[in-house]
A and B are shown apart, each in its own frame.
Chain A
Amino acid sequence: MSGGKKIGPASTAILFLNLSMAKYLLVLPYFMVSEVGNSAWLVILAKGIAAIGLFLVIAALYKPYVGLGLGQLTRRALTGPVGSVLNVIIAGLMLVRGGVLFRILTEALQTLETDTVTIEYVGLFVLLPVLICAMKGFNANVNASILILPFTVLSVALISLVLIPHYNIDNLMPVLGMGEGKIIEQAFFRLGGTFELIYLLTLSRSMADYGTFKKGGLIGVGAIGFFSFLFTLIYCLSIPYPVSKNFFFPLYQLTRMIKAGSFLQRMEPTVIFVWTGVIICALSTLVISAAELLKNSVDIRQGGGFVPILVMMIFFIGVLPRSELDTYGIYRITVNISHYFYIGVIFLVLICARLRKVERGLTYETA
């Protein structure tokens, strides 16, 4: 894993967008619709506004430590093994997230390949690029994200356009769905985007300055909020409740619904493969972030050695067989605690850093 030059706000925003899109557009509508019915779009809208507010607060507190990155800051603010253990826990949660993304993707892809294709076979084509991208480093990942993102946006736009005949405003009624209490609980008590914030803080070490961090992060949070709102709205508009809560891969379901002139329907697999690129990007970002955290836990300068191990761990988490505790089971457990855990970790580290007067602007290399 090589280092590289610092990135600017546009690259930061695109990276953030890409790594968030992987989850938000693949499964988020399903999770939201399961919880609050077809008013999920409203929840996403409120969650987006809350996420922007949360980001601004954290960005203000994090201002002096942009050059450090979360991994180093944790080590400095919580000295000794506590910081190391915390870094390892966050890295572990990242791997769980990576594992579930990998699982979702491979299951979706299996439906497109021939029946005999195994998850391991599909996994090879997903994880090999992840490994190469992560080994090439953060800048390679950013560049790949930049090149893939326009196709992702185009595919969402295409889906939105060709689904217009399926839009039915009645599907959104009643607007408040399962009640305003449920909406408020989902929107404001289960904060969205906390995991993405952890990413952003971890990778802030590669960002040019605080301006880049703030501007890039803000554009990223805003854009992902907009896209996930748009996508959920399209999903809710096109598929009535309770049918909508039956599809685990909303994107795939939507692409299958495309009937515009039958030719576009045939293009459905290509849309899926654009999304494959997005998820490969997201997975490699996860691996790089986790490697960065582990590197800081054990005080070594190069984290490249962790990359193959982390990729293998994602694979093993992703292929856990459907038993009592499979990939999704682990993810459900972690996702329930992670909302509060991540935000708690961020504030704990920032408060400790302020109290301990962690030296500002120092990097691990210069320390």
Chain B
Amino acid sequence: MKFRDLFFYSPRAEDDFILDEPSAPSDDYVPQMNEGGPELTGNYRKDKAAFDKEMEKDLNGDLKIREFTVRVGGREAKCAAYFFDGLVDKNGVNDFILRPLMMGSRTTEARSYSDIMNVLLVQSEVKETNNLGTLAFDINFGSVILLIEGYGKAISVDAKGWEHRGIESPEVEKVIRGPNDAFSEQLRESTALIRHLVRNKSLISREFAVGTISQTPVSLMYIKNVADPQLVREAERRITSLDIDYLFSSAELEQYMEGSSLITLPQFMATERPDRAARALLLGRAVVLVDGSPFAIVMPTTVFELNESAEDHYLRTPYVNVIRLIRLMAFLCSLLLPGIYVAVVNFHGEILPTDMLISIVAARDKVPFPTIVEIIIMELSLEIIREAGARVPTPSGTTLSIVGALILGQAAVSAGIVSPILIIVVSIAAIGSFATPNYYLGISARILRFGYIFLGAVGGFLGITAGLFVNVVLWTCTYSMGVPMFVPVAPITKGGVPKTLLYPQIWKQDYRDDYVNPLRRKKQQSARGWKNKEN
């Protein structure tokens, strides 16, 4: 044993997690979609044995093999159908694959092997291949693989039909006026939901398989003559360059694709709403969907878009502008209010009306801790309750809320641990983070809040100013797919600032944002034609 082994855990060879036979090179064991793997020989017995080995027949309990005979060219040929239980639609397999082959081949005789594909199998997606790697890939995607004696090739028949959640209402982005369907975990369903809204041949859906082992289907969607080709190329480059074993969610993909990982600001917008994704596409953005994840990633995005809610586009202009302002204030409260409270109590008491200052001082009279300790106790308690609330089952949630409210509200004040005014400050900050439409932006505010509390305690308003300045500098230097996060304000783009400050009427939104370099800048022209005298 080496000296360093006393300090570092080093697993023995037999403890290692081995994915394949030790003799195989570690990178080659995974069947790739298009890689040149072993080929079928044309000998049914040998091919079947090879495919059994490829699919680990003895180990895989859910691998089903149905062996039967099929009549081809006037003679009986052995046939084996391979599929994974649960990945295929069993009724479809029985009715449209096994029945035509076992019974139909005897009534409607297949003169040659090609007749099996052309006459007997009525499925929409049927292909033949002799590559074992491709067959293994297909079977994992819900295909039935048919090995037929004397054919020399295998037939892959698409029969996917696993159990999954249907299209449901959005959980995170609820709206009052607007469509109420959300993406599901099924990639195809999600892309179809977008296609249902953008019925145009220019809507492109590029497909990629990400993850050397998981081979997760990822779809990059854009509108060909609207989206900037450079944006599409960059998105494609970032997706195809990923060298990872697995990918389960768009949230993971987002982290792989973002530029700055340490900045708290989210660099993409995640949405579960097909209408929001479709709108983004029509505005020149690209949308990425990942199989198994009900959230689409919209790229590029800006910090102002992160402050938009899904409903903004369905509300009338005056309502949107007021609501956006309230939302901004909520975000700022969430970010700064506890820090400002500490700064005011410690340094700038003169900013408060005298009566209020006296009442704060009187309330704090019984509290044994300095303000910073008091506020950190409260903030941590709140974060613990929030975290617990996210984990507990719904029925226990009510109990948790009551306990939380009692502990945080009544008991902590009665025990003299915190002052009543602090409860108000912490509550407003917490509610502010919930009012932030983007979940990540809300978390960002919650994390940074602790920094501002510290700065407020050590430097008063000056500390908060310094912190804000650094925050602004770092955030404005963050890019989403090459687009600055604070565009169109910093840097300024033509006509961008007024549009950001005041949401214009829907019929005045004639142009797409120039910072995404759309191929079609104009979105609408004389949107309200009935206002023109000629009409």
Q: Answer yes or no: A280 CB below 8 A from chain B CBs.
A: yes
Q: Answer yes or no: B388 CB below 8 A from chain A CBs.
A: no
A324-363 near B? 1/0 per residue, CB < 8 Å: 0000000000000000000000000000000000000000
> Smallest distance from the beta carbon of A117 to chain B beta carbons, Å?
9
B470-513 near A? 1/0 per residue, CB < 8 Å: 10111011000000101001111000000000000000000000
Q: Apart from A136-B473, A266-B352, list 15 A-B contacts with CB within 8 A.
A: A8-B491, A14-B492, A112-B347, A112-B461, A114-B347, A129-B469, A132-B473, A133-B473, A139-B477, A139-B491, A147-B476, A147-B486, A148-B472, A262-B353, A276-B466
Q: Which 7 pairs between the two chains have the least Cβ-Cβ distance?
A: A143-B476, A143-B490, A146-B490, A125-B466, A129-B469, A273-B465, A10-B492
Contact B492 A277 (CB under 8 A): no
Contact B348 A147 (CB under 8 A): no
CB-defined contacts of B462 to chain A, threshold 8 Å: 109, 112-113, 122, 125-126, 273, 276
Residues of chain A whose beta carbon lies under 8 Å from any beta carbon of chain B? 5, 7-8, 10-11, 14, 109, 112-114, 122, 125-126, 128-129, 132-133, 136-137, 139-144, 146-148, 262-263, 266-267, 269-270, 273, 276-277, 280
CB-defined contacts of B404 to chain A, threshold 8 Å: none
Contact A147 B472 (CB under 8 A): yes
> Complex formed: what's the CA distance from A140 to B469 in Å?
11
> Complex formed: what's the CA distance from A206 to B525 in Å?
37
| A114-B347, A267-B351 known; A147 vs B463 contact (CB < 8 Å) | no
| A132-B473, A276-B462 known; A143 vs B491 contact (CB < 8 Å) | yes
Residues of chain B whose beta carbon lies under 8 Å from any beta carbon of chain A? 347-348, 350-353, 459-466, 468-470, 472-474, 476-477, 484, 486, 489-492
* Residues of A contacting B: mostly: helix
Contact A140 B461 (CB under 8 A): no
| A146-B490, A147-B472, A266-B351 known; A140 vs B477 contact (CB < 8 Å) | yes
CB-defined contacts of A128 to chain B, threshold 8 Å: 466, 470
> Complex formed: what's the CA distance from A47 to B20 in Å?
81
> Smallest distance from the beta carbon of A154 to chain B beta carbons, Å?
13
Contact A147 B490 (CB under 8 A): yes
Residue of A nearest to B476 (CB): A143
> Complex formed: what's the CA distance from A11 to B489 in Å?
10
CB-defined contacts of A125 to chain B, threshold 8 Å: 459, 462-463, 465-466
CB-defined contacts of B459 to chain A, threshold 8 Å: 125
CB-defined contacts of B353 to chain A, threshold 8 Å: 262-263, 266
> Complex formed: what's the CA distance from A179 to B491 in Å?
46
CB-defined contacts of B460 to chain A, threshold 8 Å: 112-113
Contact A277 B469 (CB under 8 A): yes
> Complex formed: what's the CA distance from A113 to B466 in Å?
14
> Complex formed: what's the CA distance from A348 to B136 in Å?
77
CB-defined contacts of A114 to chain B, threshold 8 Å: 347
CB-defined contacts of B351 to chain A, threshold 8 Å: 266-267, 269-270
Contact A273 B469 (CB under 8 A): no
Contact B470 A132 (CB under 8 A): yes
> Complex formed: what's the CA distance from A10 to B492 in Å?
7
> Complex formed: what's the CA distance from A140 to B474 in Å?
8
